[in-house]
Copies of this chain bind each other. A is one copy, B any other.
Amino acid sequence: MKTRRQRYSDSTKRALVDVAEKLFTDHGYSATSLDAIVAGADVTKGALYHHFSGKQAIFEAAFERIESRATASIGAATEGHDDPWEKARAGLRAFLEAVQEPGYRQVVISDGPSVLGHERFREQEERSTYAIVDEIVRSVLAGDEWGLDEEMLDTFTRIFFGAMSAAGGSVAVSDDPAAAAARVDAAIGFIMDGLRQLLHAEAGNGVTSRT
């Protein structure tokens, strides 16, 4: 049982992250002042600095929340598929949806790398959306018939993750997001068909030897 003081404290912290998430999403990191955040949460800077070590820390809290929402959304979409190729297509579509959310675009894609630094950004990424893409890629490409080692699988994940992030960004700024998403879906599908074709054609000789 939480004490009364703890409940108050939790709600204050949650209110701060709520406001921070909205302001960071709407105006970006640098254009959002701590004064605006504490004013929106109806507290003072003392409260903010009691719960967070600074501006970057409260940004990271908002970041993690947005990332985990996206991760959950994609994860839900990939469940219940037996065929890994179908699972991959479903995950792709969910990814394209998630990446269009304003918060994800502004906080994660745009401000994330520069605010958190590449290091921390990668860490955060790798235990959320990146992990799902990795799982999907492995479910499709792993196996003896491909002859891919760990590092090649990582490489493929990086490539697909980057491809889908960029594609998602282009979908988000498109005049007709639905049509753009359909095109991305078709293009990725085409690439995947190519890989599948290759699997049946040459049955796993020499991807790694191609360097």
Q: Which A residues have a C-beta under 8 Å from some C-beta of B? A: 28-30, 105, 109-111, 113-115, 118, 122, 151-152, 154-156, 158-167, 169-170, 173, 180, 182-191, 193-198, 201, 207-208, 210-211
Contacts and interface: CB of A to CB of B under 8 A. Distances in A.
Given A193-B198, A211-B185, A173 B30 contact: no
A60 to B, nearest CB: 15
A59 B188 CA distance: 35
A159 B184 contact: yes
29 contacts: A105-B118, A110-B118, A118-B169, A151-B183, A152-B183, A152-B186, A152-B187, A155-B180, A155-B186, A155-B187, A156-B187, A158-B169, A159-B167, A159-B191, A162-B162, A162-B167, A183-B211, A186-B208, A186-B211, A189-B210, A190-B195, A190-B198, A190-B210, A191-B194, A194-B195, A194-B196, A194-B197, A194-B198, A197-B198
